[in-house]
Amino acid sequence: MSRLITNLPAVKVWVRKEYLCDHKYGHGEFIEGVWVTAKSIPGRAFYFETYLPEYAAMYDKLPIAAFVARPETPTPDLDLPNLQFWNCMDYDVTTVCKQIVASMEWECRTRHFGSIKGEYICTLDNYHGDIDTIDASTSEIPDEHKSFNLIALENGQFALYPNNRCRIFDISMTPQDAKIPDFKVSTEYYQVENGIKWGRLGDCTDYFWTTPEEREEYPQPEINNQKEDENGELTS
């Protein structure tokens, strides 16, 4: 079953009011809110659902560009393509916290505004969860899949950025002059069962199983009809 919606941390935000008014009015005004969930629809930006205490209401289907950390226009004021780098890749989505890097200093390399530092909140990640439906997405193709790291930028906006547009610095582990990654995108499908010359186990019922090749190379002592002596050792 597809999972269109995922829970979010209860982060306090301010919503640009024009997003609550279909961009017809409310520009320059801000409404306090708390994130509730995010929706993932392939080919679109993530849609955020937000609780608005002042109105005792929830409003959803807003992009990441609708939110700021403070009730003021940020400087610089990044547009949506600079705040979310890629569209959602599938209906299936999950939220995780990458605990070991959560408290480190993050830096996002934007499209048009250079690198901006920020703080990690959580990660949204797509996958294809229903094997009974055709997978028309790219969420499980190695060189196309991207994570969406949710970052609170120092300019007061929030961003969803993939790993390869982020630098992550730790005061203890990262050297003073960190190297620039010269990596290539992974294109391999890694697995450990098929195409391996190791043998098959369909004719073996032993708990501590071995393949025919292993039994030939490392013969095991015959234990049938053996008994234990008073010291617990097997005898004929």
Q: Write out pLDDT tens, residues 125-164.
A: 999 988 878 888 888 888 889 999 999 999 999 999 999 9
92: three-class secondary structure by DSSP: strand
The one-letter code for the residue type at 61 is K
CA geometry: angle at 52 spanning 47 and 56, to 5°?
Answer: 130
pTM: 0.86
Q: What are phi and psi of 205, to 5 degrees?
A: -115, 5
Question: Which among 106, 93, 101 is positioned nearest to 147, based on CA atoms?
Answer: 93
For residue 230, the model assigns a pLDDT of: 59
Q: What is the pLDDT of residues 184-226, one digit of tens each?
A: 999 999 998 888 877 777 877 888 888 777 777 777 665 444 5
Four-point Cα dihedral 201, 206, 210, 212, nearest 10: -60
Residues 71, 31: Cα–Cα separation, whole Å: 8
Q: Is the predicted pLDDT of residue 2 greater than 60, yes or no?
A: no
- Calculate the average pLDDT of the chain: 90
pLDDT of residue 137: 84
